[in-house]
Amino acid sequence: MSPKIKLVFCGDFVAKSPEQIVFSEELVSLIADCNLKCINFEAPVINKGNPINKGGSGCLSQSADSPEFLESMGFNVIAMSNNHMYDFGETGITETQNKFRSSLTVGVGTWETAYNVKTVNINNKTIGFLSLTHTEFGVLNDVWDNSIQIGCAGISYSPINKIIANAKQTVDYLFIMAHAGIEYLNHPLPEWRDKYRQFIDCGADAVIASHPHVPQGWEDYNGRPIFYSLGNFFFDMNATKPYWNDGLIALLEIDSNKNSLSYKAEYIHRNNNKIALTDSDEIKKHVQKLCDDLKDDHLYRLAFEKSLLAFWPLYQNMILAGLNLERSSIAPKNFLRFISHSFHRKANLPIFLNLLRCESHLWALRRIIAIQQRNNV
């Protein structure tokens, strides 16, 4: 028996017609060479239920054949705690879980099951997985709210650090699959960097994140890897955002004899329905620059703030939509006063609720306003 335990982590997956997806031979070989094949299943399977009310924000679903397709390609650890898994309510979650026949489905269910670390034993080593998402619809992180009985494990649930620390006492290796951040932003929010580092401090052996739909950098923290966004693995949508069709694959290897963990990244590219490993210099240089930024706090802050400021029009329009007001140009420093005068109007409460309780949006908006005020704009 080989002393090596190999794991592969892939990013976001949504497919309307999985039977049309083609993996390159190299990709098939890479996945087959691993013991544990992990992926984020971004949306529930198509079902007869009705989508939840997200205040105009889109609900996603995917083919009922997607679970069988992924299992046929060898995937056996399915992260399900994400911002779309509750789009068709509790029924969507339950039906999706039932479609996976031979995989660990992680991060959803009742309070007890969603936060339960799922484990597998290989080479006399117990490997644990926990899937967590930032706070959007269907997240179980408010014990005072009993309206949701089945949902997703929340990354900001108050006892989460204790859960991680306790789990580490019962497993040899613990991997956190996180789903958080700002879509299309090249750099992670500082708050998520702090949070993921805390997870490592509590005992996690790696944090592998998704949600931004573009690859972000990774860093080594106290000898353990943090991948801030793998980007998309396959997302059945033709978006024009840069790097939408480019992603990372995180490869981790445990040496059972040496009790050591090593890691590296591979690059993938989607071209229509084909996913293949790529040697593109463009994507490699882009991600390497992001990794270099993470090694220097000054460079990281400059690059992050410049990128984040470009998102102000998006947040302005989200808040205006929440207030049912037409778009207009308003300086960030005047926006809170504008809101206070406008809130008597009939508001789109689901949009406002999502902005106020989702950590990523709240942190980003607060930082944008603070940066603008600091720069006297």
Identify the pLDDT of residue 369: 87
Cα 107 to chain centroid, rounded = 12
Identify the pLDDT of residue 48: 67
Least confident of 33-37, 47-51, 70-74, 343-347: 343-347
Identify the pLDDT of residue 104: 97
Confidence at 3, pLDDT banded by 50, 70, 90: confident
Q: pLDDT tens for residues 247-258?
A: 999 999 999 888
Give the residue with greater pLDDT, 209 vs 50: 209
In the predicted structure, residue 19 carries a pLDDT above the cut 80: yes
Identify the pLDDT of residue 343: 54
Q: Going from the N-terminus, what domains does the chain have, and what CATH number goes with each?
A: 4-296 (3.60.21.10), 311-374 (no CATH)
Average pLDDT over residues 268-277: 96
Average pLDDT over residues 11-35: 97
d(CA 158, CA 310): 32
- Average pLDDT of the chain? 91
Q: pLDDT tens for residues 32-41?
A: 999 999 999 9
Q: pLDDT tens for residues 78-87?
A: 999 999 999 9
Q: pLDDT tens for residues 230-241?
A: 999 999 988 889
Identify the pLDDT of residue 148: 80
In the predicted structure, residue 31 carries a pLDDT above the cut 60: yes
In the predicted structure, residue 129 carries a pLDDT above the cut 70: yes
Identify the pLDDT of residue 11: 98
Identify the pLDDT of residue 325: 62
CA distances from 22 to 26, 114, 119, 318 (A): 12, 32, 30, 37
In the predicted structure, residue 377 carries a pLDDT above the cut 60: no
Give the residue with greater pLDDT, 142 vs 221: 221
Give the residue with greater pLDDT, 206 vs 331: 206
Identify the pLDDT of residue 353: 81
Give the residue with greater pLDDT, 322 vs 366: 366
In the predicted structure, residue 286 carries a pLDDT above the cut 80: yes
Confidence at 355, pLDDT banded by 50, 70, 90: confident
Q: pLDDT tens for residues 293-349?
A: 999 999 999 999 999 999 988 888 777 766 666 555 666 656 655 655 555 555 677
In the predicted structure, residue 163 carries a pLDDT above the cut 90: yes
CA distances from 154 to 66, 127, 132, 243 (A): 24, 21, 5, 27
Give the residue with greater pLDDT, 356 vs 299: 299
Identify the pLDDT of residue 331: 67
